Structure 1
């Protein structure tokens, strides 16, 4: 699966908390256009958190589509994610969208792509974007060797990714569900 350049999004679930965070950098080629963009949203009456990597306009379209699916399926994130991925892959206009999503609620984390992927990670951590693997590695280490809560792990992982990935900065936005 191709990692999209230009951002870092990470989601961690630990104990009774789910946190998803992203950096704020928007790059056009090798130029930083904006440093404090918000790439994380709460949907469906603040019961689902979603982050995106990729083209901004495409991601906003996908946020709207996912919210429509959540409303259609009474907040069932699994069903909404599968239906979004099916529509994204088969619709002639949507299949041209260049983005990836991580969507989570209190029970589930999904990586959703335009290839029809709806992937649930084996562990309670998932990351996308150019700095995703750096943040993922940091989060796994923090989960294994600290007692930090999900939000703190997300923040620290993004800070580490920002030190390594040139497409990631330390202007961090985090949204949480649960305690």
Structure 2
């Protein structure tokens, strides 16, 4: 195997890091929307166009999550986050911090290659394998290979009056899909 290629298929030193998805979370006027595209890529080949990378979790479905990275790794992290939410109901921040601690210190979890965006009715966070639990200042999160494109578009659109969080997410995801070859226009939306 070429030593300049990471297991995710991304070259080492690649600033984007995760190829294969775009996840966007937009918070506006008391509503939060998370959107994710459906494309799954292996290298330069599209193997699936309608994957569901955004879903509701938690006992009452009161948390929405999206993931970028290796699918099996992401599902492992989603399961772990759900168990933390069971232990700390209605405490998303605490559940995220507890997951981040485990992710950073557990030998098995440390090897997982994924990023997560999670939100409830009040707060949004990005979780990383470095132990980060990051809350955006402006209520907008973008992760994945097209995340920065969607993030930039959403930040521009958020200043437009009378446009909902869901409409911002839809428009921004379309812009990301038009730019990022690892992102398609098959978008799944969940809102709270």
TM-score range, shorter chain: over 0.9
Runs of 4+ in 1 over 3 A off after TM superposition: none
Tell me the equivalent position of 1:88.
Answer: 103
Unaligned runs of 5+ in 1: none
- How many residues are treated as equivalent by the alignment? 177
Contact 1:3 1:128 in 2 (8 A): no
CA offsets, 1:133-170, max 9 Å, x none? Answer: 10001101110124211111111110000000000000
Cα deviation per residue 1:4-61 (whole Å; 9 max; x = unaligned)?
1110000001112110000000000000000000001101111000000000000001
Q: Does 1:108 align with 2:123?
A: yes
Higher-Rg member (1/2) = 2
TM-score calculated relative to the size of structure 2: 0.90
Task: Map residues 120-131 of structure 1 onto 2, 5 A cutoff.
Answer: 120-131=135-146
Alignment of 1:160-179 (within 5 A): 160-177=175-192
Query: Structure 1 CA distance, aligned partners of 2:89 and 2:73?
Result: 24
Greater relative contact order, per chain length (Cα 8 Å cut-off, separation 6+) = 1
Superposition map of 1:121-160 within 5 A: 121-160=136-175
**What 5-or-longer segments of structure 2 have no aligned partner?**
1-14
Paired position in structure 2 for 1:21: 35
Shift of residue 2, structure 1, vs aligned partner: 5.6
2:163 and 2:146 mapped to 1: Cα distance? 21
Scaled by the length of structure 1, what TM-score is found?
Answer: 0.96
